[in-house]
Chains A and B, each alone.
Chain A
Amino acid sequence: MSRDRFLACWGWPLALGVASAAGLIGALLADGMADLLATAALSTPMAAAAWYIARARR
């Protein structure tokens, strides 16, 4: 599989996976403002899913 085709398939899943992992671990390591940042990072998968589902409905 070429690099382009790999990225086309896995680019978004990888990016969202990294953001999720950062959020899950970040909230564990710090409190306060960091909790909000971590929650924001972990919410990117749901935001992406909501965006694509909403777009498909149009």
Chain B
Amino acid sequence: MASMSTTSLRTWSAIHKWSSLVCTLFMLLLCLSGLPLIFHHEIAHALGTLVESPRLPVDAPRADLDRVVGVAQAIHPGKVLQYLGTDEDDAGLWFVTLGDTPRDDAARRTVIVDARTAQVLAEPRFDEGVMHVLLTLHTDLFAGLPGSLFLGFMGLLLVAAIVSGVVLYAPFMRRLRFGAVRHSSARTRWLDLHNLLGIVTLVWSCVVAVTGIINTLAEPLVSLWRADQLAEMVTPYAEQPPPRQLVSVQRSLDAAQAREPSMAVSFIAFPGTEYSSGHHYAIFMRGTEPLTSRLAKPVLVDAQTARVTDSRELPWYVTALLVSQPLHFGDYGGLPLKLLWALLDIATIAVLGSGLYLWAKRRHAPVTRLATVGVSGPRPS
């Protein structure tokens, strides 16, 4: 502000410089790897790897779920069923996931089955290919949970850089009109571009940074839900041995659907998996409105009797995670929004790059000169 003292200017400059310097290379990596990830659906479509259900009349009857899991199990007789997932864009598909154990994620396989005919459509590998490499780099740098948390910390530094950048914006712009891009030297040009692009993309980059940080906490948040709400819901089963024979998945889904008639199934977690207890099918139902379709409500169905035993709204921290996903991915407003997401991502790359350039060019100048460059000389306020 106009009344900002030299001391506080120097402090905010130091915060801006060091938080940016530490996180910039990682943020550049995230912006670059994130760019193609925005279009993962379109890229899969172009490469012909996107699985789509064959066209059938809309009212074609849906196959019995036990048949659907049966054909997938027949392909992987040695594995156990883990999840049955739906595709929000294609109601004709079931994604059946199997692993060596219920919690196994190293040898996990997916079979895509036609939801109407119970025909196997594809056996995609989600753990190989360029897009998988980009996604893993982007989420955890191939370092699992520690890598994910590290990127979350880098995100926090980015937030510090954004906040300090906003504080420094006013003293820099004191004698300049909004949007001024001076061409007196390369350095002032890049400084003005840095300020202009930084301040206009402020809200978007804050939202993407904060939702990205929340996404890095996905694993701990799900563990918290298991220890908290899920544990409470399955207390009556604590002493019981696991079921020997699992009841029909279709009957279990029917029971959940009867409990929540206005909702649609999102995915089903088999007993013993990360998202269920040892005694239940956890049937995650979602709403049918634009926002509620992103949220979920677990309905626990006893895996021996197909009776609903409990159903609760997810706790706020899982809801926050679910809302963070679209706000980070930009996949909730069609292709125009994705294109805009890419533009804003590129603008952020320009802010990061120009910031790095400005630092490299002023390394030997004292910190207090930082603000005077923008106002062509100090002046009393």
Contact = CB atoms under 8 A, between A and B. Distances in A.
Given A9-B170, A35-B336, A43-B340, A48 B327 contact: no
B181 A36 contact: no
Main secondary structure of the interface of B (DSSP, over half): helix
Contact of B200 (A8, A28, A30, A45): A45
A24 B336 contact: no
A14 to B, nearest CB: 10
A27 B294 CA distance: 13
Interface in A26-42: 27-31, 35-36, 38-39, 42
Contacts, number: 101
A31 to B, nearest CB: 5
B179 A52 contact: yes
A37 to B, nearest CB: 10
Contact of A27 (B179, B204, B332, B344): B332
B356 interface: no
A27 B327 CA distance: 10
A28 B179 contact: no
B337 A39 contact: yes
B290 A29 contact: yes
Contacts of B380: none
B202 A17 contact: yes
A2 to B, nearest CB: 9
Contact of A46 (B183, B207, B343): B343
B337 A27 contact: yes
Given A20-B204, A29-B290, A42-B204, A12 B340 contact: no
B320 interface: no
Interface size for chain A: under 10, 10 to 19, 20 to 34, or 35 or more residues? 20 to 34
B181 A35 contact: no
Nearest to A5: B2
A10 B323 CA distance: 30
Given A5-B2, A52-B196, A27 B333 contact: yes
Given A35-B337, A49-B347, A56-B181, A28 B290 contact: yes
Nearest to A31: B290
Nearest to A53: B181
A1 B1 CA distance: 7
B183 A35 contact: no
A24 B327 contact: yes
A35 B333 contact: yes
28 contacts: A1-B2, A9-B178, A13-B178, A13-B202, A16-B203, A17-B203, A24-B204, A24-B207, A27-B337, A28-B290, A28-B291, A28-B323, A28-B326, A31-B290, A35-B334, A38-B333, A42-B344, A43-B340, A45-B203, A45-B204, A46-B347, A49-B196, A49-B200, A51-B179, A52-B180, A52-B181, A56-B180, A56-B181
Pairs A-B, 4 closest by C-beta atoms: A52-B179, A56-B181, A45-B200, A27-B333
Given A8-B177, A35-B336, A53-B181, 5 more contacts: A9-B169, A27-B333, A31-B290, A42-B340, A46-B201
Interface of B: 1-3, 169-170, 173-174, 177-183, 192-193, 196-197, 199-204, 207, 290-291, 294, 323, 326-327, 332-334, 336-337, 340, 343-344, 347
